[in-house]
Amino acid sequence: MLALLTSLISAASASYAGYASMAPTPQLYGRTLTHGSDPTQLALTYDDGPNDPHTRRLLDVLAKHEAKATFFLIGKYVRQRPEIARAIQAAGHTIGNHTYTHPNLIFVSAARLQQELGDCRKALEDAIGAPAPLFRPPFGGRRPNVLRTVRQLGMEPIMWSVTGFDWSAKSSDAIVRKVVSQIDSRRRKQGEIVLLHDGGHLAFGADRGYTVEATRVLLEKYSSSGQSSPGKKFVAIPELTR
Ligand SMILES: [Zn+2]
């Protein structure tokens, strides 16, 4: 009976550990930023770029609303198209490290982890000439050693509080509905960090037209000049009030 109980408990804790290593909010493996404290702020974040042509289209949409966002770039795509990374930076947005080839870091060796983080960091520094101190783990996957290494390299891990599910969305409306329902269900008590994608980790050139259009709708809905009141200010992660 005791053996059965023990195995039940360890099965339960193992499944919690599995959940905590992938889900964006549990803090079992150390604190990571998931949201801000000011409900009038909204931090749009875009992963898996740079991408062509969707990253530049997104920059145009963001510029129309004078919104700032954060882009977590994949190092190998930055090597391929460094000028897009420079365009993101020139537009005043924040760039973060999203590894070099986008593996799930839960399953990589310590040496590979160092290499993924370091190679992306170098690609970013070569492209934009500045350090990128923010990091987002691919698939949200993290473990104590991952977070420790990230911090040792001088980077802060950034998660999210609202998921756009844009990687599988069938329309821009579907993305907007997901995002709006999560923001409104939280009754605006925190500064949300929204997870979206301007690229795809499987291949360069992924179609992110729905995400670009959903971004346009969200900017109109939540900006101060829109119908939703009070309006929100779209900020990059460094400007998010902790
Ligand atoms: Zn990613």
- Ligand 1 midpoint to CA 102 (Å): 6
What's the pLDDT at 144? 87
DSSP code string of 131-168: ---EE--GGG---HHHHHHHHHTT-EEB--SEE--TTS
Check whether the bond before 238 is cis (ω within 30° of 0).
no
Biggest alpha carbon–alpha carbon distance for the chain: 65
Print pLDDT tens along the chain (242 aa).
445 444 444 444 444 555 566 677 666 566 789 999 999 999 999 999 999 999 999 999 999 999 999 999 999 999 999 999 999 999 999 999 999 999 999 999 999 999 999 999 999 999 999 999 999 999 999 888 899 999 999 999 999 999 999 999 999 999 999 999 999 887 668 999 999 999 999 999 999 999 999 999 999 999 865 555 568 999 999 999 99
What's the pLDDT at 12? 46
- Ligand 1 midpoint to CA 65 (Å): 25
- Cα of 12 vs its chain's centroid, Å: 29
What's the pLDDT at 11? 46
Phi-psi region of 129 (alpha: psi -120 to 50; beta: other; left: phi over 0): left
User: Would you name the residues annotated as active-site residues?
Assistant: 47, 197
What's the pLDDT at 186? 76
- Ligand 1 midpoint to CA 50 (Å): 11
Residues with CB under 5 A from ligand 1 (ion): 47-48, 138, 201
The pair of structure tokens assigned to 121 is 């960091």
- Ligand 1 midpoint to CA 170 (Å): 19
What's the pLDDT at 31? 75
Strands 35-36, 156-157: pairing is: unpaired
Q: Which CATH architecture has domain 32-239?
A: Alpha-Beta Barrel (3.20)
- Ligand 1 midpoint to CA 139 (Å): 6
Where are the domains positioned within the chain?
32-239
The pair of structure tokens assigned to 186 is 């939280």
What's the pLDDT at 4? 47
